[in-house]
A and B are shown apart, each in its own frame.
Chain A
Amino acid sequence: MKKISIVFRHSPYGTTKTREGIDFALLSASFEQQVSLIFCDEAVLHLLPNQQAELAGSKDYVSVFKAFELYEIETILACKQSLDTLGIKQQELAIDVQIAEAEAISESLVHADEVLVF
């Protein structure tokens, strides 16, 4: 069992990076790895509610975020600075995440065995 930290830093739908990163996160969790997720930069936009991915020609990979708990993915951090920059408040978010200062994210990266960025 390894501690795998997965960082998302790209906006929804403009690229398929987050979609393929989420696939990896869920698979890792189902393979009994200790998975934590970090949303930063424009990837925090994935956390907004009422998205309709199909309208942008994308698979809806955001609805599954509500199932992170079922996969025993308990640590989900969202970068406070990124949220602030985009004018997003915690109460606007669709799922329960920890709002993290940069220092907390740094610490999370230090404690992981491996970090993958999507």
Chain B
Amino acid sequence: MNKFIVQVNGPAYGSTASFRALKFCQAATSAGHQVIKVFFYQDGVQNSNSLHCPASDEINLQQLWVDFSHSQHVPLINCVSAALRRGVLSEQDAVENSKPQWNSDSTFIMGGLGELVSGIEHADRLVCF
């Protein structure tokens, strides 16, 4: 069993990097490996936006990440500074920044870049998408 940290830099819609990352994570856990966390950085933070409304015959990556996180007990970490810059806010971020709305799914945890560094320290392998 090996430990992976996966970094996602691509958004939920507009690039296939996030989809590819999800498939990689699913294959890793199916093979008995551990994904210690998925870190969303750059445009990857858009994956947590729970206001994505794809048509019913299209995939909903945000939901697929949430499902994966719940079924495999893998933490999804959003880089908070990258998220705030892109208008991706948790309820707490909304309060702190005096915004009337928020959009980040609560399964995604807002964290600092230190989460990425500590993940790299503890994982056997980093794979970025």
Contacts and interface: CB of A to CB of B under 8 A. Distances in A.
A and B touch in the complex (CB under 8 A): yes
Interface of A: 1-2, 4, 16-17, 20, 23-24, 27-28, 31, 33, 113-114, 116-117
Given A16-B42, A31-B117, 18 more contacts: A2-B120, A2-B121, A4-B117, A20-B42, A20-B82, A23-B113, A24-B117, A27-B112, A28-B117, A31-B114, A33-B120, A113-B120, A114-B120, A114-B126, A116-B7, A116-B126, A116-B128, A117-B128
Interface residues of B, number: 15
Interface of B is mostly: helix
Contacts of A1: 121
A20 B120 contact: no
Contact of A27 (B42, B82, B114, B128): B114
A24 B120 contact: no
